[in-house]
Structure 1
Amino acid sequence: MRFTKETAITSFALFSLFFGAGNLIIPPYLGYTAGNEWFLTSLGFALSAVIIPILGIFAHARLQGTLLDFGKKVHPIFSLVFCIIVYLIAVTLPGPRTASVTYEIGLQPYFDITSLTSSSIYFGLVLLFVLNRSKIIDVLGKYLTPLLLLILATIIGVAIFAELPTPKGSTNETALFTGIIEGYQTFDAIGAIVIGAILVVSLNLKNQESPEINKKVLYRAGIFAGIGLSLIYFGLIYVGALFSTFVETSSRTDLLSILSYETLGKGGRILLSVLISLACFTTAIGIVAGTADFVKGLFKGSQAAYLITAFSASILGIIIGQTGVAYIIGIAVPALNFIYPLVIVLIILNIFPPKMVSPFIFRTVAIATFLFSIPDFLISLNLLTLEAADDHLPFINYGISWVIPTLIIFVLAKIIEPLIFKKDSSETEN
């Protein structure tokens, strides 16, 4: 019974750590533009916003280590630099953005409060949760996530059972591919490798003598959280499609506000504020706790390192959070275009059985991914025009020009590897 309860709590905690403001804002508008092709679009969105992130959790369950283990087959120095970049991006961009979104959408319309005051209180509460490290899973799983799910289910349920007209025709060129690209923009793959590390540490703190049970809990929690995320995403996308027939807007946040008002009346917008605040808050806890765990590991389990990192990340969140959502998003795009492809590739490689992906494969594919993602990075910095690269790389206009070349390099590396190492072993014998 204890194992079943622990799996449920971990599943809820995992869901809330994944489900940030972007995960709430993107799906309804995606359904709004998808119209009657909402289901195919939902499948695409689930592929990149659910399956890849959950694979990241599975990789953590198999490795039972830290984020450093994701890149160690490439090289220890590469792994260290990769981790530092990921955590720096997390605490300087997505973390502060959660405070900005909470202020701009959840608090500013209703309260006469400054951004500085809001961010200070917000990260003060985040720090309180992070300092109570061993209780994070229980608090998120038992209290915050059920409330989050209750509000989401109410909005979706009321809209689905209301007498609304059927969705209009799609305005997207390719429904499935649009869903994949939009899911890619949630950046949940980065969330997966940060969140997975938190859950590994949290479960080990609770069950120090049961590593195999912890592994099973994490696998099952990943499956249940993935199902929950999929149901919510499909529901939000479908509701957005239903509203496409009588709502005219080009704003994601406005659509969400209209949706909550139309389903739950005047109180709907207040519930929306609570919903966005909860979604942002749980994500911020995961970012700060994950970064503090990582630095603590670098300093051989030093609790002082954990405390200093948690305080520093919270202070950074307060300072950077003053710049506003739009500014943070503008800076985040190039940074995420730089690191996100490597994150996805390392997740996929770590899912394979160790015998199938040698250090040679890891190094070759990682180098290829980095090189072929450079055009996307340069375009996001306006140092390269889309027209100049469009004829040379597939999917460059979607920001994923690295996918096909990396896949080809992976196949070639698998073909070449036996020939190279067979030759090396023959020379050694002679």
Structure 2
Amino acid sequence: MKFNNESLIVGFALFALFFGAGNLILPPFLGFLAGSEWYLVALGFIISAVGLPLLGIFAHARLQGSMFSFAEKISPIFSMIFCVLIYIIVIALPSPRTAAVTHEIAIAPFFNISPLITSIGYFLLVFIFVIKRSTVINNIGKYLTPAILILLLAIIFSGFFTEYKPMSTNLAELPILLGFFEGYQTFDAIAALVVGGVIIISVKLKGYSSTIEIRQLISSAAVLAGLSLLLVYGGLIFNGALVNSEFPQDVTRTELLLGISLLNLGGVAQVCLAILVALACFTTAVGIVTGTADFMAERIKKPHVYSITVIMACVVGIAVGALSVNAIIEIALPVLLLIYPLTIVLILLNVMPINFRTKFIMKAVVIATLIFSLPDALKYVISEELFANIQLYIPLSEYGLGWVIPATLAFFGSYFYEKSISNRSPQTE
């Protein structure tokens, strides 16, 4: 694996594309809940918010196509439905959430303006930044990411030298699972499918054409991005744990982040945090809008499709971004519980050797995952009592992991079935 100036720029850009609203406000709150068991909640969070996204980027480095390539082997129609659903989700939820977080932390404490005005100004800037496609990754990697990292490290490391009340015990049950599922709310496994496509196109726009060179560049960039995320998440979770005796238990995620910054940085905290939030959220919104527009331009292949998609994505962002952060998180939960398991299995299948990801195996695993993740999602939409009763008969369903055992059994069952068929074939000829 080679590391050079280009991989540093792409790695920094990849970090910034991942690190957005959820990545900033969720880790400290996890540490706050976990207290002295912060390392357990950190482990769960890192699995879903670092490990899975990195595997998604490695899969992109292997496939070197778009998100469509992840499920194309199952069925082109299924792949198209999956892609469209993902892009609708990211445009309607995590992208607008970046504007909502920016308003609550970076704008509202200083200016008495409505969330709608913030959302309009925010997505106008996103539009200006995204519309010139060839410069997106360089601008993020060279200029925005270093500023984000400097501010993040200032908040994190200043906490190590601040005196707090003694850390209290764990306030949450099953901290590893709490961390794992809170990692869903970062949208980063889904983001890996979206921004991975952005990185592939951007690298090709830089002049790279060799499959091997592209794979090496993206893989090394992913490792750099992953190490940066690991450092930042660990620091934010630990800072949240340090202050869990300083704030009431009903503190909100954004209030806690602001409180930690004030304790660690004093008078300049609000200004530093405002800049950090605005930059971190902005880069994520840029990645989502760019990825969606890239996909539409690739599939439709008509003039101005990229520009029209950017405009539509920004308009949706303005409308939803005027809502509160908590409202957007509540809307996102049932959607995530349905689409995230599918995303996870597609990522895992696409990083496996080719004999473990045949069309038959992928179909079997995806069908099993979809069927057994439905109760987790539908109980929040139709009837919690009805689907809670169904979940009693599905192992691990009470933890939101009812799909894991069926998907695993489908994987091994379909693999050994195919193997037995191939072993019998020569004898029957």
Distance 2:47 2:242 in 1: 22
Letter in 2 for 1:222: A
Find out whether 1:195 has 2:195 as its counterpart.
yes
Shift of 1:403: 1.5
1:188 deviation in Å? 1.0
Query: 2: distance between equivalents of 1:116 and 1:357?
Result: 46
- Matches of 2:107 and 2:201, distance apart in 1: 33
1:375–1:384: 8 Å Cα contact kept in structure 2?
A: no
The aligned residue for residue 162 of structure 2 is 162
Partner residue, 2:403: 402
Counterpart residue number, 2:392: 391
With normalisation by structure 1, the TM-score equals 0.94
What is the distance in 1 between the residues matched to 2:397 and 2:53?
A: 23
Report matched runs for 1:265-276 at 5 Å: 265-276=266-277
1-structure distance, mates of 2:253, 2:401: 23
Look up the match of 2:328.
Answer: 328
Structure-2 residue corresponding to 1:27: 27
Q: Are the aligned partners of 2:21 and 2:97 in contact in 1 as well (CA < 8 Å)?
A: no
SS at 1:273 equivalent: helix
2:345 paired residue number: 345
Q: Indicate if the aligned counterparts of 2:37 and 2:170 stay in contact, CA closer than 8 A.
A: yes
Structure 1 151/234 Cα, relative in aligned 2: closer, same or farther at 3 Å? same
Q: Does 1:79 align with 2:105?
A: no
Partners of 1:327 and 1:38 lie apart in 2 by 27
Q: CA deviation at 1:183?
A: 1.9
**How far apart in 2 are the matches of 1:344 and 1:356?**
16
* Mapped partners of 1:291, 1:425: distance in 2: 47
Shift of 1:168: 2.5
Where does 1:182-331 land on structure 2 (aligned, <5 Å)? 182-250=182-250, 251-300=252-301, 302-331=302-331
TM-score, normalised with respect to structure 2: 0.94
Give aligned pairs, total: 426
- For the residue of structure 2 that corresponds to 1:161, the secondary structure is coil
Cα gap change, 1:164 to 1:329, in 2 (>3 Å): closer
Write the distance in 2 (CA, Å) between the matches of 1:404 and 1:77.
26
Could you tell me which amino acid in structure 2 is paired with residue 14 of structure 1? L
Q: CA deviation at 1:256?
A: 0.9
Contact kept? 1:152, 1:232, Cα under 8 Å: yes
In 2, Cα distance between equivalents of 1:325 and 1:234: 23
Distance 1:51 1:76 in 2: 27
**Which amino acid in structure 1 is aligned with residue 415 of structure 2?**
K
Distance 1:168 1:57, change over 3 A: same
Tell me which amino acid in the other structure corresponds to 1:353.
P
Amino acid at match of 1:145: T
Q: Which moved more, 1:314-323 or 1:15-24?
A: 314-323
Cα distance, 1:104 vs. partner? 2.5
Going from structure 1 to structure 2, the CA distance change for 1:217 and 1:370 (only over 3 Å counts) comes to: same
Provide the rounded CA distance (Å) in 1 between the counterparts of 2:269 and 2:341: 38
Distance 1:124 1:221 in 2: 29
Q: What is the CA-CA distance between 1:165 and the residue it aligns to? A: 5.1
Q: What is the alpha-carbon distance in structure 1 between the residues aligned to residue 303 and residue 228 of structure 2?
A: 35
Q: Whole-Å Cα distance in 2 between the matches of residues 31 and 115 of structure 1?
A: 29
Select between 394-403 and 197-206 the one with higher mean Cα deviation: 394-403
Q: Do 1:44 and 1:179's aligned partners in 2 also have CA atoms closer than 8 Å?
A: yes
**Whole-Å Cα distance in 2 between the matches of residues 392 and 233 of structure 1?**
36
Q: Does 1:110 align with 2:110?
A: yes
Q: Render the CA deviation track for 1:124-156: whole Å, top value 9, x for unaligned.
A: 111111112111111111111111111110011
For the residue of structure 2 that corresponds to 1:245, the secondary structure is coil
Q: Secondary structure at the match of 2:110?
A: coil
CA 1:240–1:322 in structure 2 vs 1: closer, same or farther (change >3 Å)? closer
For 1:194 and 1:203, the matched residues in 2 are separated by 15
Q: Distance in 2 between matches of 1:185 and 1:315?
A: 23
* Matched position secondary structure for 2:322: helix
**Alignment gaps of 5+ in structure 1:** none
Which has the higher mean CA deviation after the structures are superposed, 33-42 or 199-208? 33-42
CA positional deviation for 1:344: 0.7
Conservation of the 8 A alpha-carbon contact between 2:184 and 2:336: no
- More off after superposition, 360-369 vs 163-172: 163-172
| Aligned residues of 1:155 and 1:260 also touching (Cα < 8 A) | yes
Indicate if the aligned counterparts of 2:3 and 2:220 stay in contact, CA closer than 8 A.
no
**Aligned partner letter, 1:370:** L
Task: State the Cα distance separating 1:8 from its structure 2 match.
Answer: 0.6
Identical columns (%): 45
Mapped contact 1:9–1:138 kept (Cα < 8 A): yes
* Contact 1:124–1:314 (8 Å) recurs in 2: yes
Q: How does 1:172-191 map to 2 (within 5 A)?
A: 172-191=172-191
Local SS of the residue matching 1:236: helix
Letter in 2 for 1:9: I
Q: Structure 1 CA distance, aligned partners of 2:424 and 2:310?
A: 51
Deviations 1:334-362 (A, max 9, x none): 22222111111100000001122211100
Q: Post-superposition shift, 1:410?
A: 1.2
The letter of the residue matching 2:284 is T
From the superposition, tell whether residues 384 and 244 of structure 1 become closer, same or farther in structure 2 (CA, over 3 Å). Answer: closer
Q: Is the 8 A contact 1:50 1:229 kept in 2?
A: yes
Structure 2: gaps of 5 or more residues: none
Residue identity opposite 1:391 in structure 2: L
Aligned-partner residue type, residue 93 of structure 2: L
TM-aligned CA deviation for residue 270 of structure 1: 2.1
**Which stretch of structure 1 is more off in the superposition, 328-337 or 220-229?**
328-337
Aligned ranges 1:43-122 → 2 under 5 Å: 43-122=43-122
* Residues in 2 aligned to 1:418 and 1:3: alpha-carbon distance in whole angstroms: 40
For 1:16 and 1:223, locate their aligned partners in 2 and report how far apart those are by CA, in whole Å: 14
1:249 is paired with a residue of what secondary structure?
Answer: coil
